[in-house]
Copies of this chain bind each other. A is one copy, B any other.
C-alpha cells in the first residue's frame, strides 16, 4: 500500500527520458529516504526553469532573458551563422571553444509525417535574420540523420540564390576511430570527401 503522494511522485518521474516505473520508484524512495533537501531543491529548480526559460528573440536558443548572452556578446563574428537543431548542439559546439560565429537554433527538424513544417522550426524567422544580418556563410550543422539532411537541403534551397556561401559539417572517420569498426556509409563519405595529405 503505497501512499498516494509517493505514487504520484513515481508517475511524475516517468515523464523523464529513459526513466521507467522501476527507476522512478528508486528515485522517489532515494530522495525520501536519503535526500529530502535535494528533492526540494530539484522541485524549486524545475519550477524556476519551466517558468523562467524562454527562447532568445534572435537565435531561438533557451535563455531567461529576452535575448541570450551569446547573441548580445560583441565578440562573436556575425558574418558566420551556424544553424543547429537543438540547444544541446550549441552547448556541444561551444564546449569545443573552436567556433566564434553566431547560431540559429531550429528547435527540431523538418518532419512532414509528424506535421512539423518550415514555420514550426522557425525558417521564416531565419530568413528575416539572414536578410537583416547578411552573414557571408551559413553552416548547416543539423544532425547527420535523414531528417537532418532533409532539413539542411531545404534551408540550402531557401538561400541558394542569395550569394551567401553554404556549408555542411564534414562527415568521416571520428578522431581516434578505427576503420574496422566504422559503418560503411561513414566510410564511403570519408573516402569521397578525402583531402590532400598535409604533413
Contacts and interface: CB of A to CB of B under 8 A. Distances in A.
A30 B17 contact: yes
A87 B38 contact: no
Contact of A69 (B1, B12, B41): B1
Contacts of A46: 9, 12, 31, 39-40, 42-43, 46
Contacts of A11: 45
Contact of A49 (B16, B32, B52, B94): B32
Interface stretch (A18-26, A141-149, A176-184, A188-196): A18-26
A88 B25 contact: yes
Main secondary structure of the interface of A (DSSP, over half): helix
Number of copies: 2
B32 A39 contact: no
A152 to B, nearest CB: 20
Interface residues of A, number: 55
A175 interface: no
B18 A38 contact: no
A182 to B, nearest CB: 23
Contacts of A15: 31, 35, 38-39, 41-42
Contact of A50 (B12, B32, B69): B32
Question: What are the 8 closest A-B residue pairs judged by CB atoms, nearest first?
Answer: A15-B38, A43-B46, A12-B45, A12-B42, A43-B47, A9-B49, A39-B50, A9-B45
9 contacts: A3-B62, A5-B45, A16-B30, A16-B31, A16-B42, A28-B49, A33-B87, A39-B49, A42-B46
